[in-house]
Structure 1
Amino acid sequence: MSPRHLALAVGLAAVWGFNFVVMQVGLQHFPPLLYAGLRFAMAAFPALLFVGRPGVPWRWVAGVAATLGVGQFGLLLVGMRAGMPAGLTSLVLQMQALFTVLFAVTLLGERLTARRVLGLAVAFCGLALVAFDFGVAGPLGAFALCVAAAAAWGLGNVVQRRAAPPDSLRFMVWVSALSAPPLLLLSVLVEGAPVLSTATEGWLSLVYVAFVSTLGGFGVWGWLLRRYDASTVAPYTLLVPVFGMSSAALVTGEALSWVKLLAAALIVSGVLYAGTRPRRPAPAEPAATPS
């Protein structure tokens, strides 16, 4: 990867990591389901008028909208509103890698190697450490909602893998369009009649998550994936909780205890180990035959 593209990948991780702090700000002004619905509505329109059809069957668009849009972000934002800190949320969501593997094995018949088992076991130890630490100091229900959001993300990854969209940005615009209506309907049913905030920082938060994080982020992600193998690009997402936890500590004063740092090391290293392939030694050159 060239230095310019490397900077782009790291910058994307920073944008997605800071996204959790921005969402925490937005949740101070909007109910969680309404905030999620408005996010996807803003990401879909007016982009929907210019991107063309998604390029895959509609059932895959609806499946990803149900899992990633409604499931992941609905559960995530409700969990954050219930007391899950932004930095810790960015870390717990990395467990989507564990759920992605489990769903891929059970639904797609992919092979579960010993390396994946060991890596995911290490990551799960980190998650258990977070659960123990947060269960003592915070609401365990909020933590459970974020774990459920990671599971929904994992399932959505498997659905998206089956869909194999040719253009990730165009696909995400249509996913956003199909995610917004059910989220807004759920907001009316659960949270009551929508009351839109007039606070500037609330709307700036929505602008960031809709245009910078969703459209801009997935546009850059798709651009990188068209130029490099997924195995080259994907590990950079492990920087998301690094930026998420550090920005939360700087902006909101969220404490970085040794327990969180140890859990972060276990989760990131476990996911990285499970998601990479060991290098095989190059075959030895045959010995020269004497003439």
Structure 2
Amino acid sequence: MSLREVGAFLMMCFVWGFHFVVIKTIVGEVPPMFYAAVRMGLVAILMSPFLRWRSGEMPKIFLGGLCLGVFNYALMFSGVKLAPASAAAIALELHVPFATILAVIFLGDRPGWRRILGIAIAFVGVALIATAGETSADPDTRIGLGVGLVAAAAFSEAMGAVTVKRSSGFTPYQLLAWFSVIGTVGLSVMTAIFETGQAAAYEAVDKRLFFGAIIYSAVAASIIGHATYYWLLQRLPVSVVAPSVLLTTIIAVFFSVLLLGDPFGPRMAVGGLMTLAGVGFVLLRNAKKQPNTGVLSEPPG
């Protein structure tokens, strides 16, 4: 990589990794699905020039939008509210094993025993984290449920990635535009049904914190992060870009422990290392084989 590419790579990983700290901070102040809906609304406004209608492809885009713009964020943000940000960041890595499994079912991929072993190690690692039992200063922490919700978000993202892989005719920015529109509508409905006290929470929250988090999530994590990722993919081999998800998680864990005081005992450390090792092995094997699976999708921004 050139120096500029290295800088872009590190910046992207930092933006996505630090995003977990931002999410954890703001969902402690306002309902998570309400925040996700507002965030996606801003992305939809900014990305609206990229909206394009393509006949015959919209059902797949709608399904992909539900997976990648609605359910994954509703589950992930709710999970981050309940689990330490560091645990959530590690659990979200399961989108790679899930996508590999779905690729076998829907896209005819044939994983060898090495990728199967990597998938198994990753799942065992997340299971260790979910049952770690580390205590937290936050009384709302329920690590098992939170990690489970984030794992479900990872599955939703993987399902969306496989769905989108079967569509055609859309650029990445057109997909992001549609997913943000679908996400805004879907998350608005979900927060109205499943959450209460949105208006009161908004009135009480520090507006600089709220809008700063919204801008960071929408502009930095979603638009700048994705733009950088696609720019790197155009210039570098997939095998070089793929490990960005691992560095993103390491950065997320580091800042979560440093700034949020996340508990990180031996069981959490072992589970995290197992998950990263398993996911890393799957990523590298996927990149080597260059399968038509879409499993090298970027971490959710």
TM-score range, shorter chain: 0.7 to 0.9
Q: Structure 1: which 5+ runs fail to align?
A: 281-291
Q: 1:260 aligned to 2:268?
A: yes
Give the Å deviation of 1:95: 0.9
Q: Secondary structure at the match of 2:182?
A: helix
Q: Conserved in 1, the CA contact under 8 Å of 2:122 and 2:278? A: yes
Change (3 A) 1:143 1:222: same
Q: Which residue does 1:30 correspond to in 2?
A: 30
Once residues 188 and 125 of structure 1 are traced to their aligned partners in structure 2, the CA distance between those partners, rounded to angstroms, is 36
Aligned residue in 2 for 1:214: 222
Query: CA offset at residue 97 of structure 1?
Result: 0.8
Q: How many residues align?
A: 278
- Matching of residue 190 in structure 1 with residue 189 in structure 2: no
In structure 1, C-alpha distance between the alignment counterparts of 2:133 and 2:92, rounded to whole Å:
15
Deviations 1:3-40 (A, max 9, x none): 32122112211111110110112113321111111111
Supply the AA of the counterpart residue of 2:270: L
For 1:156 and 1:52, the matched residues in 2 are separated by 18
Confirm or deny: 8 A CA contact 2:26 2:209 kept in the other structure: yes
Equivalent position of 2:163 in the other structure:
159
State the Cα deviation string for residues 54-104 of structure 1 (Å, max 9, x = none): 7782223212211111111101111222x2111111111001111111111
* Counterpart for residue 19 of structure 1: 19
Q: Which structure has the greater CA radius of gyration?
A: 1
- Rounded Cα–Cα distance in structure 1 between residues aligned with 2:76 and 2:248: 16
Cα 1:218–1:165 change in 2 (3 A) is: farther
After superposition, the Cα gap between the structure-2 partners of 1:46 and 1:122, relative to the gap in structure 1 and judged at 3 Å, is closer
Match of 2:72 in 1: 72
Are residues 205 and 117 of structure 1, via their aligned partners in 2, closer, same or farther at CA, if it must alter by over 3 Å?
same
Read off the aligned partner of 2:105 and give its amino acid letter. T
Q: Which amino acid aligns with 2:277?
A: S
Q: Which amino acid counterpart does residue 2 of structure 1 have in structure 2?
A: S
> Partner amino acid for 2:23?
M
Q: Find the counterpart in structure 2 of residue 283 from structure 1.
A: none
CA distance in 2 between counterparts of 1:99 and 1:135 reads: 26
1:178 equivalent in alignment to 2:182:
yes
- In structure 2, the residue matched to 1:288 is none
Report the counterpart of residue 228 of structure 1 in structure 2.
236
TM-score (norm 2): 0.85
- Cα distance in 1 between the residues matched to 2:12 and 2:116: 29
In structure 2, C-alpha distance between the alignment counterparts of 1:104 and 1:110, rounded to whole Å:
6
Measure, in 2, the Cα distance between the counterparts of 1:54 and 1:104: 27
Q: Whole-Å Cα distance in 2 between the matches of residues 91 and 75 of structure 1?
A: 15
The offset of 1:128, in angstroms, is 1.9
Q: Deviations over 1:222-241 (max 9, x none)?
A: 11112223232111111111
User: Does the alignment pair 1:237 with 2:245?
Assistant: yes
Structure 2 stretches lacking a partner, 5+ long: 290-301
